[in-house]
Structure formats: C-alpha cells, structure tokens
Amino acid sequence: MGGMQREQQLALAAARQRFADGGALAESLLAPSVQRSWERSRQAGVQPRQEPHYAPLAASGPRLEAPADRRLARCVRDDLDHLWAAFGGRQWTLFCVNADGMVVAQREHGLADVPVLRPIQVGRRLREIDIGTTAPACSLADDTPALVRGNEHYLDRFAAVFCLSVPLHGLDGEVLGALDITGTGERDAELLHGYFRQAALSTENRLMVEHRPCHLLAVQHDARWLQSPLQGLLAIEEDGRVRAANRVARRLFGLPRRGPLPLLTLHGLFAGASVHQRRRLLLAGPAHRVRLDEDHAVYVQYLRGPLAARAGRGTTATARGAGMPSLRAQGTQAVRDAVAAHEGNIAAAARQLGISRTTLYKHLRG
C-alpha cells in the first residue's frame, strides 16, 4: 500500500469513528452507496470497534431449502468457476448471495487462515446489522456495482479486506442477488468490474433460459454478440405476449429498466418490421436482420420453443443405445430439448444428436 493510500485509509478510520459518535461526513469521502450503508449501519447501532456477528448456520448445514435459491445457485455455478479460475487464490472467496444477503454459492481457498472471512459460508446471511458495510449490502440496497476496501468497511475488523460486488437481476428486472469477490489484499477494481458485470449478465441469461413455458429469442444490434453474455433475450408466451426481457433487451427496445413489462406483444415490439420479417420471428434458423424503424435494426435468432419437461444432456444418445425410438419418431420436441440443454447453441445440439445443423433446423421447422 502506497503512502498516499495509507494516509487516506487512516483518514477514513478517523472519520468513521467521528461519524459513529454522531458526527457528519464530508460528501466526497465515500461513494454514495457506501455512505448510505454507513448511515444504515449507524442507525442499526453498529459500532466500528465491535466484532462482526454472524447468525449460526441452520442445523441442516449448507443445504438450500428454497427452490429460487437452488435455481440461482445452479445458474451462477459456471460463472463462479470461470471467475475463480481467473481471480481465485488463497485467502480469497467468490460467492453469490440472494436478495436477502444469504450466500447460495461459493468458491474459496485458504479462508481457514483468515478468521475474519472464515464465517462466509453457503447458508449464512451477511447483514449490515451484524457486520456493517460490505459490497454485497451496497449492491443489494442500491442496485449498483460496489467496491468497499479497507476502512471503507464500517467495522475496524475488516480494515484489511477488499470487497467488490455486482447486482444480479430477475425476470422483472428486480434485484435477485449479488455476485462478490472478497479477500485480503488488493486487486485491480476496474478490471474486476468488467469481468463481474459480464458474469452477472451470463447468469441472468441462464435464469431466462430456465423460464421454460416461453419461446426464447436472442436479439442484438451486432450479430457477433449473439451467443454471448451481451445478447438480449426475450421470453415470449404462446399468445405472443412478451413475458420478460433481460437487461440488454430492455435497453435495446427502450423498455423500463426494472419492474413488470407493459402489456406488449411480439409483433408490437417489432412493429417497424415487414410482414415477412415478423413471420420469421418464431422460426428456427440463422440470425436474421429485422428493422425496428427507419434508423434502427437488430439481429434476431430463435433459440427454442416452450418446454414442458426438463431436458437432460445426453438423453437422446442414451435412449438410442437402449433401443428407444429413432430421432424422427421422437419428433420435434427431442430436438428442442437438445437445443435447450445446450442453452440455444445449435452447433452443440446438432453434435449431441449426431445430425447436421441443416437437418436440425428442418426438425425445428417441422
């Protein structure tokens, strides 16, 4: 830590104690979300010099009882693995909390050597009234990425901790949880923000894919961003109503950032498209360009139709080996299940089924 940063941290510690004793804070001292968290911590009676308090884990241990928590843990798993491979290390942990601040998924190494971080475990809630200001608390409260390092934490005990978090959003744009990296030491916060934002979008896309009763469409201005965390996703009900849109799609179409979508149909959303283009919206095939108005267009790709039952990877190949009916006899649903199992990746689904992409498209159209 450089001399200037060390002085800044000492100034923060002194300002925090004055604040805890009833004093005011300079407006430029903290990021707005962190300052609001300090204010909530003080109102809750938290004192900087106290030890963090963690509620005991449930008798059942780290089991997740709520289906929504299990779904979130399942959808965030791959992104936690990728982030851990890039940024994990001793005395660091990556984890996901739900909207109540409870840890639902985690990767960690060496926390046994860091008593202040050891209590971070799946099934435990990280609440401001117990441990003061943390990055997940700021992200959940303000729906914004948060960085809390050193004495920006409200407890003296966390003076050596670096904590960065980004929010996760559900089908209606609501804050569903947060993705966090916490450890002792320093990291490049700007670099981490970029990667964690991408991981959050990827997790949210998986949550959209799991919304099984709807057609799923991918949209983007640039076709190269399809099949990436930056793709927009639309969930369309059988009657054509737009049920949900992820954050990217909401921006692309100028929809409200959060909250239930207004009553809107797929054809209404693409009112500027030609009749031919609108007819192709729910047809499988390569991404195609669709006009929104005179000045704007997006690429649209149909990912899958509504699914009645959960698909499992490898089920088609297993069924063939057991003398089950042929792919043609199983029909279009088997192909859709394979595409859904691979999250819309047509090439991967075709490889699993042992057919060409052209043949797969024919089955989907049928």
Note whether residue 55 is domain-resident: no
- Are 348 and 307 part of one and the same domain? yes
pLDDT confidence tier of residue 295, bands split at 50, 70 and 90 = confident
Give the pLDDT score at 330. Answer: 38
Residue 146 has pLDDT above 70, yes or no: yes
pLDDT confidence tier of residue 118, bands split at 50, 70 and 90 = very high
206-229 residue pLDDT tens: 999 887 789 999 999 999 999 899
Residue 331 has pLDDT above 50, yes or no: no
Residue 166 has pLDDT above 60, yes or no: yes
pLDDT confidence tier of residue 59, bands split at 50, 70 and 90 = low
Give the pLDDT score at 164. Answer: 98
pLDDT confidence tier of residue 125, bands split at 50, 70 and 90 = very high
Give the pLDDT score at 347. Answer: 78
Note whether residue 164 is domain-resident: yes
- Which structural domain, as residue segments, surrounds residue 271? 213-365
Question: Which of residues 156, 189, 208 is at a domain's end?
Answer: 208
CATH of the domain at 195: 3.30.450.40
- When divided into structural domains, the chain yields a total of 2
- Are 199 and 234 part of one and the same domain? no
Give the pLDDT score at 366. Answer: 62
Question: Which of residues 193, 208, 223 is at a domain's end?
Answer: 208
For 52-61, the CB contacts below 8 A with 24+ separation are 52/116, 52/119, 52/130, 52/131, 52/132, 52/155, 52/157, 52/158, 53/130, 53/131, 54/119, 54/124, 54/130, 54/131, 55/124, 55/125, 55/127, 55/130, 57/121, 57/123, 57/124, 58/123, 61/123
Note whether residue 56 is domain-resident: no
- Are 15 and 155 part of one and the same domain? yes
Give the pLDDT score at 318. Answer: 34
Note whether residue 339 is domain-resident: yes
Share of the chain above pLDDT 70, in %: 87
Give pTM, 2 decimals.
0.80
Mean of per-residue pLDDT scores for the chain? 87
Note whether residue 347 is domain-resident: yes
Note whether residue 73 is domain-resident: yes
- Are 156 and 9 part of one and the same domain? yes
Longest Cα pair distance anywhere in the chain, in angstroms?
76
Which residues, other chains included, contact 265 with Cβ-Cβ below 8 Å and sequence gap of 6+?
240, 241, 242
Residue 233 has pLDDT above 90, yes or no: yes
Between 324 and 71, the more confident residue is 71
